[in-house]
């Protein structure tokens, strides 16, 4: 059997092109469509056979699909800022083990649905590292969702009014990684604390979590205002958990001090968390 049973239209170059483009659109191969003429010219100049020509086109299509998928993952993660680990100055933070952070980019904790807690004072790079790890996961085409703790509780409260908390939790369970930033900045109401607990209890062990907090575990009771609930939450979150401690001064504060002449030193009143 021969596959090259070309129809009469194929005798005409323009018609062949038109037919090819129609088929490539039907097959949803946009990279093939965009590149086949140029790649054909290059293959012909280089004296490459049909198989190499086809391989080059297929590789471009696969690479483009990968990029599109990564882009979709990044968009749907809703990062408030795109931060890279490459831009993180590890030398500014003695307490943080660079190798440990880099090991997390491999994503084993995501495959095992484990928790990573980034603990330390404001301005020290917790959100930066948490977002950068989320970005790494997106580049591995994993589904990520970034929340602030306050934003998550607001979403949960709004969902509760519409009796849609189970739906919100179902959507969360479809993620590979959930980042909860700034836990501890705003104390929860009783209802907020309970919903937050319900959310964490549902996703824990099924979805990887990254949590950033300025509050040491001993102070979490103040945040949730319920000892039993706090103990139950900590029990779950710290079960399979990597804790990264960020110790030191605010990075922004240090940068500002570096820029200011020594004579003008002293505490900066506008330092924000
Ligand atoms: P935190 O979440 O601990 O409050 P952020 O991650 O928001 O701190 O950091 C505050 C700002 O300082 C961000 O713009 C962040 O990119 C930057 N920053 C903090 N630490 C570092 C660091 N070690 N290297 C580079 N930038 C840093
Ligand atoms: Mg932060």
Q: What is the pLDDT of residues 45-58, one digit of tens each?
A: 999 999 999 999 99
Q: Sorting pLDDT into bands at 50, 70 and 90, what band is 8? A: low
Ligand nearest, relative to CA of residue 182: 2
Query: Where does the pLDDT of residue 24 fall: very low under 50, low under 70, confident under 90, or very high at 90 and above?
Result: very high
For 237, the enclosing helix (H) or strand (E) is helix 227-237
CB of residue 123 inside a 6 A radius of ligand 1: yes
DSSP state at residue 181: E
HEC sequence for 79-113:
CCCCCCHHHCCHHHCCCCCHHHHHHHCCCHHHHCC
Domain boundaries, given as residue ranges, for the chain = 14-76, 79-255
pLDDT at 12: 72
CA distance 170 to 166: 6
CATH fold label, 79-255: Rossmann fold (3.40.50)
Q: Please identify, by atom number, the ligand 1 atom nearest to the C-alpha of residue 120.
A: 3
Phi, psi of 226 (to 5 degrees): -160, 115
CB 122 less than 6 A from any atom of ligand 1 = yes
Assess whether the C-beta atom of 127 lies below 6 angstroms from ligand 1.
Answer: yes
Q: Which atom of ligand 1 is nearest to the CA of 92?
A: 23
Probe residue for ligand 1, chosen from 97, 125, 132, 247 as the CB with the greatest number of ligand atoms within 8 Å? 125
* pLDDT bracket for residue 161 (50, 70, 90): very high
Strand order in the sheet with 115-119: 144-148, 177-183, 208-213, 115-119, 241-245
Query: pLDDT digits over 183-210, tens only?
Result: 998 889 999 999 999 999 999 999 999 9
pLDDT digits (tens, 9 = 90+) for 228-261: 999 999 999 998 899 999 998 777 777 777 777 6
Count CB atoms within 10 A of the CB of residue 252: 16
């Amino acid at each position: 059997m021969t596959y090259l049973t070309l129809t009469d239209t194929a005798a005409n170059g323009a018609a062949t092109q038109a037919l090819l483009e129609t088929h490539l659109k039907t097959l949803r191969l946009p990279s093939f469509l965009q590149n086949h003429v140029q790649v054909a010219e290059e293959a012909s100049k280089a004296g490459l056979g049909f198989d190499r020509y086809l391989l080059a086109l297929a590789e471009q299509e696969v690479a483009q699909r990968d990029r599109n998928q990564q882009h979709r993952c990044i968009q749907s993660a809703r990062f408030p800022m795109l931060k890279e680990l490459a831009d993180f100055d590890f030398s500014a933070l003695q307490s943080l083990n660079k190798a440990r952070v880099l090991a997390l980019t491999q994503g084993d904790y995501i495959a095992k649905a484990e928790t990573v807690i980034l603990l330390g004072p404001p301005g020290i790079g917790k959100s930066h590292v948490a977002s950068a790890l989320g970005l790494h996961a997106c580049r591995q085409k994993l589904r990520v969702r970034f929340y602030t703790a306050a934003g998550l509780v607001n979403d949960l409260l709004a969902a509760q009014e519409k009796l849609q908390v189970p739906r919100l939790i179902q959507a969360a369970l479809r993620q590979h990684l959930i980042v909860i930033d700034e836990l501890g900045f705003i104390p929860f109401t009783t209802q907020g604390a309970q919903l937050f607990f319900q959310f964490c209890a549902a996703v824990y062990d099924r979805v990887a979590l990254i949590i950033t907090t300025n509050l040491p575990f001993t102070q979490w009771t103040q945040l949730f205002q319920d000892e039993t609930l706090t103990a139950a939450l900590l029990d779950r979150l710290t079960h399979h958990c990597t804790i990264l401690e960020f110790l030191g001064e605010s990075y922004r504060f240090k940068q500002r001090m570096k820029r200011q002449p020594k004579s003008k030193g002293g505490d900066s009143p506008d330092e924000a968390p």
